[in-house]
């Protein structure tokens, strides 16, 4: 999944285009993210979600990165909120790093 995301972003980079990367939290498995609008029992892990967020953040063609489908009323233990905050903060940290 990560290699496919990188390849897709690379095609935009090669064309000199910018993109909006939208991360639908519904794709994360219910074990890691129960505070979503549509639970997915066989979704990706929280680790993969964070890796995807970091991949988007590192890519210069990503002009906007949003996180969607968070349902705070369903997030009884705050786990999903923490995952989203982690994705956001790690993403900002990656963006702030000088190009390598």
In sequence order, what DSSP letters do the residues of 65-95 get, joined into one string? EEEE-B-GGG-TTSHHHHHHHHHHHHHHHHH
Show me where the domains of the chain are located. Answer: 2-96
> 10-26, pLDDT tens digit by residue?
888 878 788 888 889 99
Locate 22 and state its tokens.
């939208």
Mean pLDDT of the chain: 84
Q: In this predicted structure, what is the pLDDT of residue 91?
A: 67
Are 61 and 99 in contact, with CB atoms under 8 Å apart? no
How many CA atoms, within 13 angstroms, populate the side-chain half-sphere of residue 78?
A: 3
> What is the SS3 assignment for 59?
coil
Residue of 83, 93, 7, 82 lying closest to 49 (CA atoms): 83
- Mean pLDDT confidence for 85-98: 69
> 37-73, pLDDT tens digit by residue?
898 889 999 899 888 888 888 888 888 888 889 999 9
* pTM score, whole prediction: 0.77
Are 51 and 6 in contact, with CB atoms under 8 Å apart? no
């Amino acid at each position: 999944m990560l290699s496919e995301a990188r390849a897709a972003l690379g095609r935009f980079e090669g064309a000199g285009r910018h993109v909006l990367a939208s991360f639908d939290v519904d794709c994360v498995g219910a074990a890691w993210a129960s505070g979503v609008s549509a639970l997915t029992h066989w979704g990706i892990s929280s680790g993969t979600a964070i890796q995807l967020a970091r991949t988007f953040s590192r890519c210069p063609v990503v002009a906007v990165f949003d996180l969607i489908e968070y349902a705070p009323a369903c997030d009884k233990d705050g786990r999903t909120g923490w995952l989203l905050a982690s994705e956001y903060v790690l993403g900002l940290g990656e963006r702030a790093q000088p190009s390598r």
